[in-house]
Amino acid sequence: MKDESPGLPDDADFHAYVDGRLDADRRAAVEARLAVDAEAARRVRDWIEQRDALRGLHAELLDEAIPEHLLHAGERLHHRSSRLARWQRWGGLAAAVVLSFALGWGANMQWQATVAGVASSPSASAFARQAVVAHAVFSPEVRHPVEVDAKQQDHLVQWLSKRLNRPLKLPNLASAGYELVGGRLLSGGGGPRAQFMYQNANGERVTLYVGAIDGAAGKGLSETAFRFTSDAGVQSFYWVDQGYGYALSGKLPRQGLLVLAEAVYKQL
């Protein structure tokens, strides 16, 4: 007789545990595994910290009603999905593939038009938001805050310069008490992004976020002009220089972060 009992908890169960999507029995099984598996428990703690950081960025929106135009868009997309299911039954796999491409493209265009009043097209402010979110996600990491550490600084700069198609420089913030931790490659709304992380003796971290911003995206933000944003305790100064955006983010007082941003700007 086939054994239908669930296996040992795995990463899928851990993610569901963090999201609160397990029933009581499976949750108990996961907690039992975490009690004896220190590495799994550490990963889950890191995921919970990342979840809470992301939620904190938009805490004021969690209790707000969903705007009517987004509900309408959702209904339209649901109807489109139902049509796709009928095509899968009636027309076979080939027809479904063709329709799925067409509906996906149409839904994407409709979605962009629908949310235009809520989230503007890619802009310098959207770039800053990406930088803040990236900082909130990766700065709490203990074991894997970066992909390439400071010991491979030359490789890090060459790799990210190639991916961003622009020679990058690594500012030296040692005089301000911050040493390079390393960096990573990220994906942004306008293409690849680089994130460099620095840390001081107290363990406080700041991140420099870099990526291309085209002419339309940078509209309204004069070249090299500093702009400031703050969300859920994460502060960020951002600017555009020769078509590229830069954002320095951290949980520092505004004046302290400005001093670091000016030091970064002068070295770039």
Rounded to 5 degrees, φ, ψ at 218 are -90, 0
Each residue's pLDDT expressed in tens, for the chain with a length of 268 residues: 444 445 678 888 888 888 888 888 888 888 888 888 888 888 888 788 777 776 665 555 555 566 665 666 666 666 655 555 554 555 555 544 444 444 454 444 443 433 333 333 347 888 888 899 999 989 998 888 999 999 999 999 999 999 999 999 999 999 999 999 999 999 877 789 999 999 999 999 999 999 988 654 444 444 557 899 888 789 999 999 888 899 999 999 999 999 999 999 999 8
> Per-residue pLDDT tens for 138-161?
999 888 899 999 999 999 999 999
Residue with tokens 């703050």: 230
Tell me the CA distances in angstroms from 24 to 11, 20, 167, 192, 215, one per residue in order: 18, 10, 53, 41, 53
CATH of domain 124-267: 3.30.200.100
Backbone angles phi, psi at 196, to 5 degrees: -110, 135
The whole-number pLDDT of residue 197 equals 97
CA contacts within 13 A on the Cβ side of 116 = 6
Give the strands of the sheet with 205-212, arranged side by side: 148-149, 179-188, 191-199, 205-212, 244-250, 234-241, 227-231
Domain boundaries defined on the chain:
11-59, 68-117, 124-267
pLDDT digits (tens, 9 = 90+) for 156-203: 999 999 999 999 999 999 999 999 999 999 987 778 999 999 999 999
